[in-house]
Structure 1
Protein backbone atom coordinates (compact mmCIF):
# COMPACT_ATOMS: atom_id res chain seq x y z
CA UNK A 1 0.00 0.00 0.00
CA UNK A 2 1.44 3.39 -0.95
CA UNK A 3 2.02 6.03 1.70
CA UNK A 4 0.72 9.57 1.51
CA UNK A 5 2.84 12.29 3.09
CA UNK A 6 1.56 13.90 6.29
CA UNK A 7 1.06 17.28 4.58
CA UNK A 8 0.72 16.39 0.91
CA UNK A 9 0.72 18.75 -2.02
CA UNK A 10 -1.73 18.26 -4.85
CA UNK A 11 1.12 16.66 -6.82
CA UNK A 12 1.60 14.21 -3.94
CA UNK A 13 -2.08 13.26 -4.17
CA UNK A 14 -1.72 12.67 -7.90
CA UNK A 15 1.34 10.48 -7.38
CA UNK A 16 -0.41 8.59 -4.59
CA UNK A 17 -3.45 7.91 -6.79
CA UNK A 18 -1.18 6.66 -9.56
CA UNK A 19 0.42 4.15 -7.17
CA UNK A 20 -2.95 3.29 -5.67
CA UNK A 21 -4.38 2.48 -9.09
CA UNK A 22 -1.42 0.26 -9.93
CA UNK A 23 -1.80 -1.61 -6.64
CA UNK A 24 -5.54 -2.06 -7.09
CA UNK A 25 -5.19 -2.95 -10.79
CA UNK A 26 -7.08 0.13 -12.03
CA UNK A 27 -4.21 1.61 -14.04
CA UNK A 28 -5.63 -0.07 -17.14
CA UNK A 29 -8.87 1.92 -16.94
CA UNK A 30 -9.47 4.12 -19.93
CA UNK A 31 -10.09 7.83 -19.66
CA UNK A 32 -13.75 7.16 -20.42
CA UNK A 33 -13.99 4.57 -17.62
CA UNK A 34 -12.41 6.96 -15.13
CA UNK A 35 -14.78 9.74 -16.19
CA UNK A 36 -17.79 7.47 -15.75
CA UNK A 37 -16.54 6.39 -12.32
CA UNK A 38 -16.15 10.07 -11.38
CA UNK A 39 -19.74 10.63 -12.44
CA UNK A 40 -20.89 7.77 -10.21
CA UNK A 41 -18.97 9.21 -7.27
CA UNK A 42 -20.51 12.64 -7.83
CA UNK A 43 -23.93 10.98 -7.71
CA UNK A 44 -22.97 9.33 -4.43
CA UNK A 45 -21.77 12.69 -3.12
CA UNK A 46 -25.13 14.25 -4.02
CA UNK A 47 -26.94 11.45 -2.21
CA UNK A 48 -24.73 11.95 0.88
CA UNK A 49 -25.49 15.68 0.75
CA UNK A 50 -29.21 14.93 0.56
CA UNK A 51 -28.85 12.74 3.64
CA UNK A 52 -26.87 15.44 5.48
CA UNK A 53 -29.60 17.98 4.62
CA UNK A 54 -32.23 15.53 5.91
CA UNK A 55 -33.92 15.30 2.52
CA UNK A 56 -35.96 12.21 1.74
CA UNK A 57 -34.09 9.15 0.49
CA UNK A 58 -35.00 5.59 -0.40
CA UNK A 59 -34.72 3.70 2.89
CA UNK A 60 -33.01 0.79 1.09
CA UNK A 61 -30.35 3.10 -0.35
CA UNK A 62 -26.82 2.75 0.97
CA UNK A 63 -25.44 6.23 1.55
CA UNK A 64 -21.87 7.11 2.45
CA UNK A 65 -20.74 10.18 4.32
CA UNK A 66 -20.04 13.50 2.60
CA UNK A 67 -16.35 13.37 3.55
CA UNK A 68 -15.92 9.85 2.13
CA UNK A 69 -17.63 10.78 -1.11
CA UNK A 70 -15.58 13.97 -1.49
CA UNK A 71 -12.45 11.86 -1.07
CA UNK A 72 -13.65 9.48 -3.79
CA UNK A 73 -14.29 12.44 -6.11
CA UNK A 74 -10.75 13.72 -5.46
CA UNK A 75 -9.31 10.29 -6.23
CA UNK A 76 -11.05 10.19 -9.62
CA UNK A 77 -10.13 13.80 -10.42
CA UNK A 78 -6.50 12.88 -9.81
CA UNK A 79 -6.93 9.73 -11.89
CA UNK A 80 -8.28 11.66 -14.87
CA UNK A 81 -5.61 14.36 -14.57
CA UNK A 82 -2.92 11.66 -14.44
CA UNK A 83 -4.25 9.99 -17.59
CA UNK A 84 -4.13 13.33 -19.40
CA UNK A 85 -0.75 14.40 -18.00
CA UNK A 86 -2.30 17.42 -16.26
CA UNK A 87 -0.66 18.97 -13.22
CA UNK A 88 -3.77 19.80 -11.18
CA UNK A 89 -2.03 22.37 -9.03
CA UNK A 90 -0.82 24.31 -12.07
CA UNK A 91 -4.22 23.97 -13.74
CA UNK A 92 -5.83 25.36 -10.58
CA UNK A 93 -3.41 28.28 -10.44
CA UNK A 94 -3.86 29.04 -14.16
CA UNK A 95 -7.65 28.95 -13.88
CA UNK A 96 -7.63 31.23 -10.83
CA UNK A 97 -5.62 33.81 -12.78
CA UNK A 98 -8.43 33.79 -15.35
CA UNK A 99 -11.09 33.98 -12.61
CA UNK A 100 -9.40 36.95 -10.94
CA UNK A 101 -10.06 38.99 -14.09
CA UNK A 102 -13.76 38.15 -14.18
CA UNK A 103 -16.48 40.33 -12.76
CA UNK A 104 -18.60 38.37 -10.35
CA UNK A 105 -22.20 39.29 -9.68
CA UNK A 106 -24.77 37.87 -7.36
CA UNK A 107 -28.14 37.50 -8.99
CA UNK A 108 -31.35 37.52 -7.05
CA UNK A 109 -34.38 35.80 -8.56
CA UNK A 110 -36.00 37.69 -11.46
Structure 2
Protein backbone atom coordinates (compact mmCIF):
# COMPACT_ATOMS: atom_id res chain seq x y z
CA UNK A 1 0.00 0.00 0.00
CA UNK A 2 1.22 3.48 -0.82
CA UNK A 3 0.38 6.65 1.06
CA UNK A 4 -1.39 8.18 -1.95
CA UNK A 5 -3.66 5.14 -2.23
CA UNK A 6 -4.40 5.14 1.50
CA UNK A 7 -5.15 8.86 1.47
CA UNK A 8 -7.53 8.50 -1.46
CA UNK A 9 -9.36 5.63 0.30
CA UNK A 10 -9.74 7.70 3.49
CA UNK A 11 -10.96 10.66 1.41
CA UNK A 12 -13.56 8.57 -0.43
CA UNK A 13 -14.83 6.87 2.71
CA UNK A 14 -14.72 9.65 5.30
CA UNK A 15 -14.29 13.14 3.77
CA UNK A 16 -17.98 14.01 3.78
CA UNK A 17 -18.42 12.97 7.41
CA UNK A 18 -15.14 14.64 8.43
CA UNK A 19 -16.22 17.85 6.67
CA UNK A 20 -19.50 17.90 8.57
CA UNK A 21 -17.66 17.24 11.83
CA UNK A 22 -15.13 20.00 11.12
CA UNK A 23 -11.38 20.29 11.42
CA UNK A 24 -11.09 20.73 15.18
CA UNK A 25 -13.52 17.94 16.06
CA UNK A 26 -11.74 15.64 13.61
CA UNK A 27 -8.44 16.58 15.24
CA UNK A 28 -9.97 15.80 18.64
CA UNK A 29 -10.73 12.28 17.39
CA UNK A 30 -7.08 11.95 16.35
CA UNK A 31 -5.97 13.01 19.83
CA UNK A 32 -8.35 10.45 21.36
CA UNK A 33 -6.83 7.73 19.18
CA UNK A 34 -3.32 8.74 20.26
CA UNK A 35 -4.50 8.30 23.86
CA UNK A 36 -5.87 4.86 23.02
CA UNK A 37 -2.52 3.99 21.45
CA UNK A 38 -0.77 5.07 24.66
CA UNK A 39 -3.06 2.81 26.69
CA UNK A 40 -2.42 -0.13 24.36
CA UNK A 41 1.33 0.42 24.67
CA UNK A 42 1.10 0.51 28.46
CA UNK A 43 -0.95 -2.69 28.46
CA UNK A 44 1.56 -4.41 26.17
CA UNK A 45 -1.16 -5.76 23.89
CA UNK A 46 0.46 -5.95 20.45
CA UNK A 47 -2.85 -6.57 18.67
CA UNK A 48 -4.36 -3.44 20.22
CA UNK A 49 -1.22 -1.45 19.45
CA UNK A 50 -1.47 -2.46 15.78
CA UNK A 51 -5.14 -1.45 15.68
CA UNK A 52 -4.52 1.90 17.34
CA UNK A 53 -1.55 2.69 15.08
CA UNK A 54 -3.85 2.15 12.10
CA UNK A 55 -6.44 4.45 13.70
CA UNK A 56 -3.85 7.18 14.35
CA UNK A 57 -2.68 7.00 10.74
CA UNK A 58 -6.26 7.11 9.42
CA UNK A 59 -7.26 10.11 11.57
CA UNK A 60 -4.02 11.93 10.71
CA UNK A 61 -4.85 11.47 7.04
CA UNK A 62 -8.40 12.70 7.68
CA UNK A 63 -6.98 15.91 9.13
CA UNK A 64 -4.64 16.25 6.13
CA UNK A 65 -7.57 15.75 3.75
CA UNK A 66 -9.55 18.51 5.44
CA UNK A 67 -6.57 20.82 5.02
CA UNK A 68 -5.93 19.79 1.40
CA UNK A 69 -2.51 18.37 2.24
CA UNK A 70 -1.04 15.61 0.06
CA UNK A 71 0.48 13.33 2.72
CA UNK A 72 2.90 11.63 0.33
CA UNK A 73 4.26 15.00 -0.87
CA UNK A 74 4.46 16.33 2.69
CA UNK A 75 6.38 13.24 3.78
CA UNK A 76 8.78 13.50 0.83
CA UNK A 77 9.31 17.21 1.52
CA UNK A 78 10.03 16.62 5.21
CA UNK A 79 12.21 13.53 4.80
CA UNK A 80 13.61 14.10 1.32
CA UNK A 81 11.79 11.12 -0.11
CA UNK A 82 12.61 7.58 0.76
CA UNK A 83 15.28 6.54 -1.72
CA UNK A 84 14.99 2.81 -1.01
CA UNK A 85 11.24 2.86 -1.74
CA UNK A 86 11.73 4.95 -4.87
CA UNK A 87 14.43 2.59 -6.16
CA UNK A 88 12.35 -0.52 -5.53
CA UNK A 89 9.28 1.10 -7.06
CA UNK A 90 11.18 1.93 -10.24
CA UNK A 91 12.21 -1.73 -10.45
CA UNK A 92 8.61 -2.85 -9.98
CA UNK A 93 9.37 -4.31 -6.55
CA UNK A 94 7.64 -3.72 -3.25
CA UNK A 95 9.59 -2.05 -0.43
Conserved? CA contact 1:18–1:27, under 8 Å: no
CA separation in 2, counterparts of 1:71 and 1:27?
21
Within 2, Cα distance between the matches of 1:27 and 1:71?
21
Task: Specify every segment of 5 or more residues in structure 2 that has no aligned partner in the other structure, as ranges.
Answer: 81-95
1:38-85 deviation line (CA, Å, top 9, x unaligned): 0000000000000018xxxxxxxxxx7000000100110110110111
In terms of fraction of residues, the more helix-rich structure is 2
Over 6 Å off, 4+ runs: none
| In structure 1, C-alpha distance between the alignment counterparts of 2:76 and 2:43, rounded to whole Å | 33
Deviation string 1:19-47 (CA, Å, 9 cap, x unpaired) is 22158x44412110111000000000000
TM-score when scaled to structure 2? 0.74
CA–CA separation in structure 2 for the residues paired with 1:68 and 1:94? 28
Could you tell me the TM-score, scaled by structure 1's length? 0.65
